Amino acid sequence: MDRDEVVDWLKQYHDIIREIRELDEDAAYLRTRLYSASKPSLDGLPRSNYNADRTASQVAKLADMDIEITRLLDDLYRRRQEIEKAIDSLGGDERRIVRLRYIACRADGRGYTWWEIGEQAGYTDRQSQRLHRQAVEKMSHYVAV
């Protein structure tokens, strides 16, 4: 990967985290629907076969959707781990700069500016950018396409 591709790859981290949260919410909702749809009626009143067939069909659809969400989550977790592993391969200062740039974020969810990164890491914003360039260059050799 060249440096621009590494930067684009690192920028995916927050998107991956957001997708994981959304899919976790979807999975929880589906599981709630799945378990409520599959509960038998205990009131003793006779039911038509139409509702039973419809319920079985809905349960099957929900189960398939749950399996697909689990597969997507597994892929997202794998991608997140690849990014974290690549960052962890860097030396201390470079790793800290890259983590602050791509993984850490402020309370409002936005990433840090170069000035804020430099302030937290004990560097000027220019020094932080230089360390970032060095780190991305190293990662371009570490990361496979």
Per-residue pLDDT tens digits for 93-142: 999 999 999 988 877 777 899 999 999 999 999 999 999 999 999 998 87
- Higher-confidence residue of 46 and 82: namely 82
Answer for the pair 99, 107: CB distance below 8 angstroms, yes or no.
Answer: no
Which among 61, 62, 70 has a CA at the least distance from the CA of 23? 70
Distances in whole angstroms, Cα of residue 131 to Cα of each of 17, 95, 106, 136 = 25, 9, 21, 9
Answer for the pair 70, 49: CB distance below 8 angstroms, yes or no.
Answer: no
Taking residues 41-55, what's their average pLDDT?
60
DSSP class of residue 104 equals -
Provide the domain count of the chain.
1
For position 101, what pLDDT does the model report?
A: 92
Give me the domain span that covers residue 119: 3-142
For position 115, what pLDDT does the model report?
A: 94
Task: Tell whether pTM > 0.95.
Answer: no
Residues in CB range of 111: below 8 A, 6 or more apart: 14, 101, 102, 104, 105
105 φ, ψ to 5°? Answer: -150, 160
